Structure 1
Amino acid sequence: MKEKPRVLVAEDDSRLAAMLTELLESEGYEVLVAPDGQRALHLSLTQPFDVFVLDRGLPVMDGLDVLRRLRQGGLTVPVLVLSALGNPADRVEGLDGGAEDYLTKPFDVDELLARLRVLRRRGTSTLPSIRFTGGLFEADNRTVVLDSGARIVLSERESALLEQLARRPTQVFSRGMLLDSVFADADDPGVVDTYVHHLRKKFSKSLIETVRGLGYRMGSLS
């Protein structure tokens, strides 16, 4: 069964959040809502999403502050800013802050859905390379190029696991999350630990960090 795309809606207007939830769920999305910036930041750093819809005027933490912290943390999930602030300077500020798109309120529903489809296509395209501390991962040919110049080719599943971790280097992935996203066809949940072991053996134990009681996240080779 194909997984639903996951969207995080950061919106403090409860009526608008409910409308967006109903709309997006009717389009096949799995929707989580964050009513303030702090909750949005927490969810985005601890769970995988395919796209964000982010209001600028959030309580506790401004939407653009959330966005900047996401980008500083290395998260590449495409973000659409949804805001009542619609003059050119506001849009430029949002795009310069790390958003891929900016839509002003009130908005056309069909336009919103179309823009999200575009962002999802961008977000799911394979990156040609992903930099991490100690090396470069070339996703298109499943090769890690170490800073020393050595090149190590990975198996298909090793590559898929490393890419998932490297795309969101600050996020902690539970075994269940990695099973769903990387090993969906596996019968044994222990397959996650097996491939973590394979990667550590090829590189070093520090490549993938174990977060006790939670799961794994990207480490480094230094």
Structure 2
Amino acid sequence: MLVEDDTDLTELLTETLVDEGYVVDNAPDGQRGLHLGLTRPYDVMVIDRLLPALDGLDLVARLRSRAVPARALMLTALGTVDDRIAGLDAGADDYLVKPFDLDELSARVRALCRRTADSTEALRIGAGLLDLSLRDAVLPDGSRVALSAREFELLRVLAARPNTVHSRAELRSRVFDEAAAPSLVDTYVYYLRRKLGRTTVRTVHGLGYRLGAL
């Protein structure tokens, strides 16, 4: 996601990133950036600091308060040490001062993508998250829901491969054990839906279950 109100710079950065193989969503102001950040999964967010509607610092802080895990690179003409500290404290992962070299921007985005790929802190579930460190679910409004050990593991298996349909036998083997009753999978799917909503786990009739959305 690229949040930048300068149309010429937006066009230049978008062209550069697309040429390197990225899919880029653009937001011309902080409010649009907030909407995109809360409703779509991103690996990296490139955010200008001085934005209309919602300042870049506030945007990053709000996204972090809602447990959005995407790495954030902040672009700004404000380059003092205090400015950089403010950006990092708001939740940015990196800070690049204007004017900047496009090759450096590209290198920093690649570095943040590698950090995202190596991260095992959370798994995306629609607009929500499964927090792997605290072992609970984060709803789209930022609230957290505690999970039992088996609820967490069942949801983790589904979220790790979100487009895969998992049979009951596979889930029983990976989450419980071979000796467990087959109906135990259905019981814990019911528990997850009761805690997190019916769309959290989707039934694929005749085949099993796949991840839904929070």
Residue of structure 1 aligned with 2:159, choices 153, 159, 162? 162
Q: Does the 8 Å CA contact 1:200/1:208 hold for their aligned counterparts?
A: no
TM-score normalized with structure 1 length: 0.67
**Residues 21 and 205 of structure 1: is their aligned pair in 2 closer, same or farther, counting only changes over 3 Å?**
same
> Per-residue deviation at 1:202?
6.6
1:182 aligns to what? Answer: 162
Match of 2:108 among 109, 115, 136: 115
Aligned partner letter, 2:13: L
Match of 1:76 in 2: 69
Bigger Cα displacement from structure 2, 9-18 vs 114-123: 114-123
Return the offset for 1:209: 2.5
C-alpha contact 1:208 1:216 (8 A) present in aligned 2:
no
- Range 125-134 or range 88-97, more displaced: 125-134
- Pairing 1:205–2:205 present: no
Is 2:93 the partner of 1:100?
yes
Q: Are 2:127 and 1:134 aligned?
A: no
Q: Which amino acid aligns with 1:134?
A: A
The AA in structure 1 aligned to 2:196 is I
Say whether 1:87 aligns with 2:80.
yes
**Contact 2:151/2:188 (8 A) holds in 1:** no
Paired-residue identity, %: 43
- Does structure 1 residue 67 correspond to structure 2 residue 60? yes
The alignment of Structure 1 onto Structure 2 pairs a total of residues equal to 168
Change (3 A) 1:161 1:64: farther
- Structure 2 unpaired stretches of 5+: 122-131, 137-144, 172-184, 200-211
Q: Where does structure 1 lack aligned partners over 5 or more consecutive residues?
A: 1-7, 136-145, 164-180, 218-222
Report the Cα distance in structure 1 between the residues aligned to 2:21 and 2:192, rounded to whole angstroms: 40
CA contact (8 A) 1:210 1:216 kept: no
Question: How far has the Cα of 1:121 moved from its partner?
Answer: 1.1
Q: CA RMSD in A?
A: 2.8
Using a 3 Å threshold, how does the CA distance of structure 1 residues 93 and 69 change in structure 2: closer, same or farther?
same
Which of structures 1 and 2 has the bigger CA Rg? 2
SS at match of 2:2: strand
What is the TM-score when the length of structure 2 is the normalising length?
Answer: 0.69
Counterpart of 1:204 in structure 2: which amino acid?
L
Q: Is the 8 A contact 1:80 1:99 kept in 2?
A: yes
Q: Alpha-carbon deviation of 1:210?
A: 4.5
Residues 202 and 111 of structure 1: CA distance in aligned 2, closer, same or farther (over 3 Å):
same
Structure 1 pair 160–66 and aligned structure 2 pair: CA distance change class (3 A): farther
